[in-house]
């Protein structure tokens, strides 16, 4: 279980959300469905700008993607991850995109100088939320998986 912080004034704008308030649990469920993300007995609760998610995810990766899909929406300042995981794996590092970042640059910072081409692993770790490697924005939180 962990609490992950987000910038609540950036991200996907969902119906009913504002910078002061996250979208309703139903709208957040629709956001997960849009990305084909789910967990058994998934429960989402909203308390102002804090979202809590619980249930049982198939993998650590799936749980992290659920948290990111919820948190990278307008009005969400934090997501409390109470998801249980069937197949545990090392957790990814969460990184908040800064102005001027590219996935190549992020790969060089996290994986080492000369490792920029590993940006494809970061891109894959964030699909389906990312549709193209060049479509990242400041304030967005990304999963940075351990190198294979």
pLDDT in tens, 74-102: 999 999 999 999 999 999 999 999 999 99
Contact between 6 and 74 under an 8 Å Cβ cutoff? The reply is no
In this predicted structure, what is the pLDDT of residue 8?
92
Domains and CATH numbers, the chain: 2-87 (no CATH), 93-144 (3.10.350.10)
Kindly give the residue spans of alpha helices, DSSP state H, lying in the chain.
25-34, 60-71, 103-111, 119-125
Position 147 scores a pLDDT of 87
Q: How far apart are CA 65 and CA 43, in angstroms?
A: 15
The list of the chain residues with pLDDT below 50 reads none
Length of the chain: 148
The pTM of the full predicted model, rounded to 2 decimals, is: 0.93
Residue 31, CA distances (Å) to 36, 80, 104, 113 in order:
9, 17, 27, 36
Cα(22)–Cα(73) distance, integer angstroms:
8
Identify the pLDDT of residue 89.
92
For residue 91, give both structure tokens. 């957790």
Name residue 5's beta-bridge partners: 78
Q: Where are the beta strands (DSSP E) in the chain?
A: 2-5, 40-47, 50-59, 78-87, 93-96, 141-144
Tell me, rounded to whole angstroms, the distance of Cα 73 from its chain centroid.
9
């Amino acid at each position: 279980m962990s609490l992950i912080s987000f910038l609540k004034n950036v991200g996907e704008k969902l119906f009913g959300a504002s910078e002061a308030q996250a979208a309703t649990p139903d709208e957040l469920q629709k956001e997960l469905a849009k990305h084909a993300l789910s967990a058994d007995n998934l429960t989402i609760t909203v308390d102002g700008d804090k979202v809590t998610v619980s249930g049982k995810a198939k993998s650590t990766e799936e749980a992290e993607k659920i948290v990111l899909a919820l948190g990278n929406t307008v009005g969400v300042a934090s997501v409390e991850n109470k998801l249980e995981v069937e197949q545990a794996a090392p957790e990814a590092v969460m990184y908040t995109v800064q102005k001027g970042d590219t996935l190549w640059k992020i790969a060089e910072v996290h994986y080492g100088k000369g490792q920029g081409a590993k940006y494809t692993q970061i891109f894959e770790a964030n699909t389906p939320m990312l549709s193209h490697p060049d479509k990242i924005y400041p304030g967005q939180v990304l999963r940075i998986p351990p190198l294979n």
